[in-house]
Structure 1
């Protein structure tokens, strides 16, 4: 497949997102069975509306997880994330049950399953059935502590012990059991009923040899989750920001809309920027699974922690606008509190548990340009597990160095040229410093965390976020026009990153905040998303 052929994937995923948005309808319509009113009512009762599940069933969401060569729609990881983001933007719990459950269940089967196993799981999902996983942590940290134990028995296997049940397992038609060792694909009818507490207890449960999928698949599955789940989370933050902008537009302080009050304008500009930074990083992570499969360890580790943290900080600051109304669970703005809680559904372990310190640095070739172009088609996804990453060098760090050098030669960016170059240079200085420190940190499986590990990993992750922002800006500037092709957002975004690093920052041009808030208003009034994709919404 050539680079030009997958361009149709962009058209296809854009059409699918639009279709799903249309099916969901106007979220603010109180009569909409899958609008905010009904979703809030269902959340108070501890669930999601039946109508919301029906929307996804009619849409055939399961087909998004099935590779195209098996009759499904999956071609690119970033395309899957865009569709799931649409679900999460409407309701985070719905996205977790319908999205994360399928993600953990399908990845190991596509990677290592036999032809019959792949065909069976594809048939279940394409027929409208559901799949879920047990024995793996939903936060992407690895096998659950209570994963069942497997052992060979009479030509098959025996599974023994309790299994942590993932989202959606209660209604699943097929279950993928992560055991110690091995992964098994089973029909729900072949397993005992869930216990009263919702757990799956396997008491010397015999399974046929044909159920065995393979060994050492948890890490492979979690690589995909580390990219897709953070990208999904952007949807919740996008919805929360839209709710907050609507609140600010409809409320006044001293005769002015909250959007026109200087302090509040600054909060909205910051939240919008943080969402864009998070999305640039998640975009690079999902596409790196295709483009840089053997070099994306640092990037995936950064995405799985930095994206949720940026989104939580951005939306958390907006909660101050609501005051006591932030806890209201009904009405036009009751969704805001739920959207904040939904963000917490995508949780992650501390970075120091998994960050690949041995691969930091800018040695080697920079990441290719199409890593950062959200609309460039990619080749087919290679489901085979990556058994070993490159020993050293980070293509995104090399891209940062090259991009910072390029900003020094750019013209026509005033009044942003000088501050932009200074900020990019500050990121490179930080990169050199962290590379030296990281080289001294112990690394490798089973290595106890060093006291400095968390701080180094957190700071390095911010550098990768800055590199991703530079890459997205360069690509939009080279291939199109619009807000993301302008230097205002990039300069302001890098300034926020450098500020988080505790380094000295230049003053922003006075026009920067005005340009950013103007884009925020434009997208709100046009009913378009605040993320990189600027997608039309229903209603």
Structure 2
């Protein structure tokens, strides 16, 4: 079942296995997904498809016999899941990815091979990090593990972990536990508990937590009562848990936002037939300029988000030393942009959204699901808190000449396997993500191709200098957990700046590529830059967003061209991000004109 194209896994494999989500009859259609969501479960047939496909092997590096080589290919292969049901993606296996990465980072050979064998069998692993009282502040966690007095007998665990996906269904769980009373990061360790290998004691995982988003996920609470696990459950060394988690976060903070773009892609694709078939004011919604603008704004947000998300995924292979900041920026700003896009689409769909009317009611579910992305795993504030202490170091790095790294932005660049030991916990040697803004070659190419838009790029170059100087002036006392609001604002600006660099680099590499929207329509970069310009703070840059050098924001001709480009991609059954790739999709069956 594992098809290959030019020696690489076929990204369309799951598209074909799942089938057309708009089909009137089928096992995994929008209708069956909404029905399952209402019942707070996932579609069983879809889970069986993923099991038969060998989902677990996707999470295992090739050196251990799995299929995980290029993380970009992994994302492409998983996107069909997120285009249909994000809860299936999270509930069936992405949580297992979050756990497994920690073992690939710090586990010894025996631990890695044992986990790989379990994943090949289709087993799941829950991630027991969160305690509600402490949120994303892992260093305040209270769940403890102490060594059993008898030598070699293992660890005794007591405490609670809350809002844990799959904790009741999973065969194993990765526990972030306090193993020393001292304050500080070295007081925590990671234990991989397999439920069948419990030595003694008990754990209660039966309580389920009901959520408004990701309803199909079995999210619960784990209570540990003198649970004893073996000595070999320790992943890495004692006291290494925090450092391991911070390294593993760099992978999952990149991958999860990249997958979430698939859901917005699917929502945009549904919006086009809705607009064509919905009658309003004596015409269709498609005929209304404001409606087309709303559609285009959502697409523009997706293009920016997808550009940064894809670059962040490639950085795992190409610039791992910079991923501590890149992945934190990605995990912060990409969900913001995607949720903005979903809000735009919810307004566009009107009553078909809030009444959950078939065939468009699934968009309401998707919106609820995506709201969870910036909350769970590593929250937005936690991502900003990662950036803040590194702002002065970033300001020093960005002064250094950084060669433009085309591989970060070129969709077809070959990627070697991830070196999991290569992730650092700092700002890296240079800033490759914004190098596109400093490249003379790219500046010349953009000026030649889009002279009227060049002032919008200049604003981001000015922003780079402004942010660099502000970050360099920060005092050490303002960089802690109690950082003032204005420092959090600087962290947000850095995330937006990286998005600008990623968009420009992606345009440069994609402008000649067959499957890039930047080649197919000039409106793609025009609209994306207009949306990007709205992210600038007018207090820093004087002119109101978009009103630069006489450039009219969201001009009718540009919006119409962009709307037509979106519709053309939808009609051709292509995805709508920075890669236009085939999808299995047909327009939903609906009345000729909905009144």
Query: After TM superposition, is the score higher than 0.5?
Result: yes
Q: Distance in 1 between matches of 2:108 and 2:32?
A: 43
**CA 482–140 in structure 1, closer or farther in 2 if over 3 Å, else same:** farther
Which residue, 94, 112, 118 being the options, matches 2:106? 112
1:201-254 Cα deviation digits (max 9, x unpaired): 222222222111122311112111110111111112112212222211211233
TM-score, length-scaled by structure 1: 0.91
Q: Indicate conservation of the 8 Å contact 1:133/1:165, yes or no.
A: no
| 2:157 is aligned with 1:159 | yes
**Correspondence for 1:453:** 487
Q: Give the whole-Å Cα distance in 2 for the aligned partners of 1:75 and 1:9.
A: 15
1:244 touches 1:318 (CA, 8 Å); kept in 2?
yes
Distance 1:373 1:140 in 2: 37
Quote the residue 1:371 is aligned against: 408
Unmatched 5+ residue regions in structure 1?
1-7
Note if contact 1:134-1:178 (Cα within 8 Å) is conserved in structure 2: yes
Look up the match of 1:526.
Answer: 572
Does 2:487 match 1:434?
no
Distance 1:209 1:482 in 2: 51
Relative to structure 1, the CA distance from residue 84 to residue 10 in structure 2 (aligned partners, 3 Å threshold; closer, same or farther) is farther
SS at structure 2 position matched to 1:360: helix
Match of 1:194 in 2: 204
Q: Bigger CA drift: 297-306 or 270-279?
A: 297-306
User: Any conservation in 2 of the 1:158–1:204 contact (CA below 8 Å)?
Assistant: yes
Deviation at 1:80, TM superposition (A): 2.2
* Mapped partners of 1:524, 1:166: distance in 2: 37
| Residue equivalent to 2:294 | 267
Distance in 2 (alpha carbons) for counterparts of 1:456 and 1:126: 44
Q: Is the 8 A contact 1:30 1:36 kept in 2?
A: no
Asked if structure 1 preserves the Cα contact closer than 8 Å seen for 2:447 and 2:454, the reply is no
Structure 1 partner of 2:370: 343
Partner SS, residue 166 of structure 1: strand
CA distance 1:39–1:438, shift in 2 (3 Å): same
Q: Deviations over 1:327-352 (max 9, x none)?
A: 12351111110111111121223254
Within 2, Cα distance between the matches of 1:107 and 1:137?
A: 21
Checking the alignment, whether the CA contact within 8 Å between 1:37 and 1:330 is kept in structure 2 is no
1:389 aligns with 2:426: yes
Computed over aligned residues only, the root mean square deviation of the Cα atoms, in angstroms, reads: 2.5
Counterpart contact for 2:21–2:29, Cα < 8 Å: yes
| Structure 2: gaps (5+ residues) | 179-187, 208-219, 586-595
Report which stretch shifted further, 388-397 or 321-330: 388-397
Q: For residues 23-78 of structure 1, what are the alpha-carbon distances to aligned partners after superposition, in whole Å with 9 as ceiling and x for unaligned?
A: 11111123212111111111111111211211211211111100011111101222
Say if 2:199 is the partner of 1:204. no
Pairing of 1:412-491 with structure 2 (within 5 A): 413=449, 417-442=450-475, 446-480=480-514, 482-485=516-519, 487-491=522-526
User: Is residue 2:529 matched to residue 1:494?
Assistant: yes
User: For residue 354 of structure 1, what is the aligned residue in structure 2?
Assistant: 386
User: TM-score with structure 2 length normalisation?
Assistant: 0.83
Give the Cα separation in 2 of the matches to 1:409 and 1:272: 24
Q: Give the 3 Å change call, closer, same or farther, for CA 387–315 of structure 1 in structure 2.
A: closer
Asked whether the equivalents of residues 132 and 172 of structure 1 are also in contact (C-alpha less than 8 Å), the reply is: yes
SS in 2 for 1:317: helix
Q: Quick check: 294-303 or 478-487, which moved more? A: 478-487
Alignment of 1:91-130 (within 5 A): 91-130=85-124
**Is 1:12 aligned with 2:4?**
no
The structural deviation recorded for 1:142 is 6.1
1:26 matches 2:20: yes
Q: Deviations along 1:147-175, whole A, 9 cap, x unmatched? A: 62122233332222112363222221222
Alignment of 1:302-341 (within 5 A): 302-341=329-368
**What is the 5 A alignment of 1:206-221?**
206-214=228-236, 215=240, 216-221=243-248
Greater shift, 289-298 or 384-393, is seen at 384-393
Could you tell me whether the CA contact under 8 Å between 2:322 and 2:424 is conserved in 1?
no
After superposition, the Cα gap between the structure-2 partners of 1:290 and 1:137, relative to the gap in structure 1 and judged at 3 Å, is: farther
Match of 2:436 in 1: 399
Residues 354, 389 of structure 1: CA spacing in aligned structure 2 closer, same or farther, 3 A cutoff? closer
1:278 and 2:305 matched: yes
Runs of 4+ in 1 over 6 A off after TM superposition: 137-140
**Counterpart Cα distance in 2 of 1:460 and 1:390:** 12
Q: Distance in 1 between matches of 2:563 and 2:257?
A: 25
Could you tell me how far apart the structure 1 residues matched to 2:205 and 2:516 are? Answer: 54
Aligned partners of 2:12 and 2:77 also within 8 Å: no
